Structure 1
Amino acid sequence: MAEESPKKTGKNVLIAMDGSKHALYAFEWYAKNLYHPDDNVIMAHCAEPGVNIPPTTMMTGNTAMVDSLLEQHERNAKETLQTIDAAAGKHNIKHVLERLHGPPGEAIVKAADSQNADMIVAGSRGFGTLRRTIMGSVSDYIVHHSKVPVMICKHDDEHVKLK
């Protein structure tokens, strides 16, 4: 009789986390409804430096101000990583933190590919049509470019406003 290969019990789950209430809601939903102790959970955080630096600051060549804004960005990223760790700790979920770089949608899809993710979990901010058209939507990008199933959790607080 041939030996069967061991069955994979857990999933590789990449959870897109930016520290917002929308991302935390998506994580909480996953933790309460889908999480299995054998899952390999990758909490991915993508924060692009320079996004909050006004173009006029960059054009003036004020390096001290740019450095100060970049330092603040780094402090914010560290706080977000601590928030992510605390959320996972609340549910006793073993996880790996992965800090991503580049445009968030692209970085998340690329990380899911490199981590052999079985699914991606992300929140949705509920931007209106105009803002989503101008800024683009990270969740929309993920849904249309991911090779694996994607779960987008919509936070009721924001989506009620759109009705």
Structure 2
Amino acid sequence: METKFGGDDPQSRKKLMAMVAVDESDWSFYALSWALDHLFINAPRTVETGERQEGDLWKVTVVHVTEPFHHFLYPAGPGGGTYYGTTSVVESVKKTQEETAAAILSRALQICKHKKVKAETLTMTGDPKDMICQATEQRHVDLLVVGSRGLGMVKRALLGSVSDYCAHHAACLVVIVKPPRGSAPTK
């Protein structure tokens, strides 16, 4: 059964919002490439630039979530106490996080450019699981695409899985893109 969104007239079609979550892992970029290849498989191209016209059916947002930096430490062992990082350390870490997020999103936009698809980016700070689900709800996303690191059941249970959490809590359809067969997880 084929679903049509608003009929054959391009002007009456509903624009669908896709969101792809990326982090520093190769699997998230594999998921981004997969999404671009499969969402835009039949998208027409403009004559001038050859870019795919995503305006007719899909709009793509690439989201990256940075974990919040806690500027205090709880040392292990006897004595206890809380230690706070100096202002310069806190600023240095925040700057590094911003640079890392910018590099990740830049790499994602390069993949989009290579596939001739326009995309917007979104950076958020917080727990990735919660923030991605929150973003799908706030932005009325129709499809969320996330990569899977290929963790086994035990590791997934102990470490938690962003993709697994999103599959159960996102307010939209979720596609989890698994790594290619024979690939070893990197992160």
Counterpart of 2:59 (choices 40, 44, 49) is 40
Q: Comparing 33-42 with 103-112, which one deviates more in the overlay?
A: 33-42
Deviation at 1:31, TM superposition (A): 1.3
Name 1:20's counterpart in structure 2.
Answer: 25
Query: Could you tell me how far apart the structure 1 residues matched to 2:137 and 2:29 are?
Result: 23
Matching of residue 113 in structure 1 with residue 132 in structure 2: no
Query: Structure 2: where are the runs of 5+ without partners?
Result: 1-6, 44-53, 76-81
Question: Which gives a bigger RCO, structure 1 or 2 (Cα 8 Å, sep 6+)?
Answer: 1
Relative to structure 1, the CA distance from residue 55 to residue 97 in structure 2 (aligned partners, 3 Å threshold; closer, same or farther) is farther
- Identity, % of aligned pairs? 27
Task: Please tell me whether residue 90 in structure 1 is matched to residue 95 in structure 2.
Answer: no
- How far apart are 1:55 and its partner, in Å? 5.1
Greater helix share, 1 or 2?
1
The alpha-carbon deviation at position 61 of structure 1 amounts to 2.0
Change in CA separation of 1:62 and 1:100 when aligned onto 2, cut-off 3 Å: closer
| C-alpha RMSD of the superposition | 2.7
Matches within 5 A, 1:46-57: 46-50=65-69, 56=75
Displacement over 6 Å in runs of 4+: none
Unaligned runs of 5+ in 1: none
Rg larger for: 2
| TM-score for the superposition, normalised by structure 2 | 0.72
State the alpha-carbon separation in 1 of the partners of residues 102 and 171 from structure 2: 30
With structure 1 as the length reference, what TM-score do the two structures score? 0.82
